[in-house]
Amino acid sequence: MAMVNSISTNNPQNVTDYPNNNTYFLVWNFKEGLTTAQIKPVFQRLCALVINLNNSALDRFPESKASCVVGIGYDAWLQLELPKPLPKELKNFEAITGGKHTAVATKGDLHFHIRSDVKSFAFDMSSIIADCMNEIAYCVVEVQGFRYWDSRSILGFVDGTENPHGTDRDYFAVIGEQDPAYKGGSYQFVQKYLHDLDAWKSLSVEEQEKVIGRSRTHDIEMSDDVKPKNAHIALANVGDDLKIVRDNMPFGNVATNEMGTYFICYASTFTTVEKMLRNMFIGNPVGNSDRILDFSIATTGSLFFVPSLDMLNDFAG
């Protein structure tokens, strides 16, 4: 088995790119009964394919800001017999249950985060990946996200205002010396939220603002003496030294009234994400859970590790 110290791990995948106009989120699970010997050759081709798609996008459509990021789950890492020891914080996500709400845990072997300002190109990238993956896995989540006005969620509020910018994005999203063997990698956590828009719309704008902790029109944060203790931003933001890079996207189906937010973040340490989730779902203090969860239900929850480009290239063989 390959040892991790034999692999170069410097250049990250596109984890710090800014949200795009069109995004595909795909979660795949390996088919039961397949052996490592059956899965691994396809996975190697897949790694080479992702690298090829990113290079091709840069050459063919440089203005589209297109990219594909692949993340690997804990079980998949073991089944594929990837390097040991594993990334320090890679594990199967465990559900976080509070008095009212639960951050559910769902299985995910591989996750693909595909962005492009050109929707056709995002679609083609997804289709090409599916053609490769269908041999060994089945898709359990497919969400097509889109930019809604000025980066707002379907709830009508700007999403991601607290995101770091500039070099801080690399600092908070990309692993450095805290895990030298996996330098350049990143932890990727995803959740699919469904919103109860009827209940949300029954609130006045002032009540909605208290749920979020910001003004709806101008995206200005409430002062601490006005902002409720259970407001979303009061609990989801766990400190200036503990940030993550969010790339959330809204999605919606008018016919079925399935409207929601696909939460995705990249972090140099998963403990930061866990602290945020505990604040939201259990409460800080306990019982003071995030008010937004009264209108947003998490239906999935999975942790992945995003290897560096160098490591992905090594995986391709």
pLDDT at 17: 95
In sequence order, the β-bridge partners of residue 90 are none
Q: What is the chain's Cα-based Rg?
A: 19
Would you call 21 exposed, middle or buried from its count of C-beta atoms within 10 A (0-12, 13-18, 19+)?
A: middle
* Integer Cα distance of 153 and 247 in angstroms: 12
Residue 180's domain comprises 4-316
pLDDT at 246: 96
Which residue, 191, 163, 193, 237, is CA-closest to 93?
Answer: 191
Residue 240's alpha-carbon distances to 124, 161, 164, 234, in angstroms, are 38, 13, 9, 13
pLDDT at 254: 86
Q: What tokens appear for 12 in the block? A: 């990250």
Would you state the torsion angle of the CA atoms of residues 55, 58, 60, 66, taken in this order, to the nearest 10 degrees?
100
Q: What tokens appear for 160 in the block? A: 């991601």
Chain center to CA of 53: 20
- Structural domain count, the chain: 1
Residue 68, CA atoms < 13 Å, CB-side half-sphere? 29
Taking the complete model, does pTM exceed 0.75, yes or no? yes
pLDDT at 1: 43
Which residue, 272, 236, 238, 289, is CA-closest to 98?
Answer: 289
* Integer Cα distance of 162 and 152 in angstroms: 13
Which residue, 281, 304, 283, 285, is CA-closest to 103?
Answer: 281
* Integer Cα distance of 234 and 211 in angstroms: 10
Q: Average pLDDT per run of 10 along the chain, which is 317 residues long?
A: 47 94 97 98 98 94 94 98 97 98 98 96 96 98 96 96 95 96 97 97 98 97 96 94 96 92 98 98 98 98 98 95
* Integer Cα distance of 195 and 189 in angstroms: 19
Give Cβ neighbours of residue 72 (< 8 Å, ≥ 6 apart): 80, 82, 109, 110, 304, 305, 306, 307
Chain center to CA of 8: 25
* Integer Cα distance of 24 and 230 in angstroms: 32
Distance in Å from the first CA to the final CA of the chain: 13
Task: Assess whether 159 carries a catalytic annotation.
Answer: yes
Residue 34, CA atoms < 13 Å, CB-side half-sphere? 20
Catalytic residue, chosen from 75, 109, 117, 159, is 159
Residues in the chain: 317
pLDDT at 257: 86
pLDDT at 5: 43
* Integer Cα distance of 154 and 193 in angstroms: 11
* Integer Cα distance of 71 and 181 in angstroms: 17
* Integer Cα distance of 302 and 111 in angstroms: 9
Q: What number of other Cβ atoms are within 10 A of residue 45's Cβ?
A: 14
E-strand stretches of 176-290? 186-195, 245-246, 249-253, 258-267
* Integer Cα distance of 113 and 23 in angstroms: 7
